[in-house]
Amino acid sequence: MIPASEALALLREGNRRFVADRSTVATSSHQARRLDLVDGQEPFAIILGCSDSRVPAELVFDRGFGDLFVIRVAGNVVAPSQVGSVEFAASRYATRLVVVMGHSQCGAIIATLEELLGKSSTQSRNLRSIVDRVRPSVETLLSGRTVDDHEALMREAVRANVRVSANHLRHGSELLEKLIRDDGVRVVGAEYSLESGVVTFFDGVEDVEQATGA
């Protein structure tokens, strides 16, 4: 079992290699690793990220087969099946670190903002289920302000949405609450920059650094 603090350090190191264009996973033997994993897995981190094709979790953290348990959904929103996926990995594989990772220029956030500003509306009930989960955090940001700096608003909205998803995972499941209380599971929020490739961990990080990883 890899404690949350160590898992976070591994992700940071991997992202540094990726940003420096010194990724190592692409040159390693996938077939040997694949065979090693046939009988079981022990992923050291759970990543809840966006489905956006520009944000492949394994690549931005320079990790390969068996390392990350990845859940991807547009807007990295948390619905019951996402909570269930995190519960599954954390309880079955003893994975201690959960990362909710949003990203700049996220289409789901843009769609929600446009809807709230009256520029468009979502017709599909299914698509609406995603926008509706992003909406409350963005609505809070919009209340009582004028939208003069759209870029700044977009950046804030991405982070607000990550914070809400991370909090939902911390407090929306009895099983996860127990794993957090008794077993050193930690949930952190992060943002990936399409522009720089850098992942910034900005929510719940101090708590990981203090975690014993028991």
- Least gap, CB of 107 to Zn ion (angstroms): 5
Q: Do residues 158 and 110 touch, judged by C-beta distance below 8 A?
A: no
Residues that bind Zn ion (CB under 5 A): 50, 52, 106
Q: Which is nearer to Zn ion, 114 or 177 (CB)?
A: 114
Q: Which is nearer to Zn ion, 52 or 67 (CB)?
A: 52
Q: Which is nearer to Zn ion, 101 or 180 (CB)?
A: 101
| Longest Cα–Cα distance in the chain | 57
Nearest to 77 by CA among 140, 136, 161: 161
- Least gap, CB of 171 to Zn ion (angstroms): 23
- Least gap, CB of 206 to Zn ion (angstroms): 26
Q: Which is nearer to Zn ion, 51 or 85 (CB)?
A: 51
Q: What is the length of the chain?
A: 214
Q: Which is nearer to Zn ion, 74 or 208 (CB)?
A: 74
| Cβ neighbours, 10 Å, residue 176 | 21
Sign of CA dihedral 33, 86, 105, 123: positive
Angle at 131 between CA 129 and CA 132, to 5 degrees: 65
- Least gap, CB of 159 to Zn ion (angstroms): 13
- Least gap, CB of 115 to Zn ion (angstroms): 15
DSSP assignment of 152-164, as one string?
HHHHHHHHHHHHH
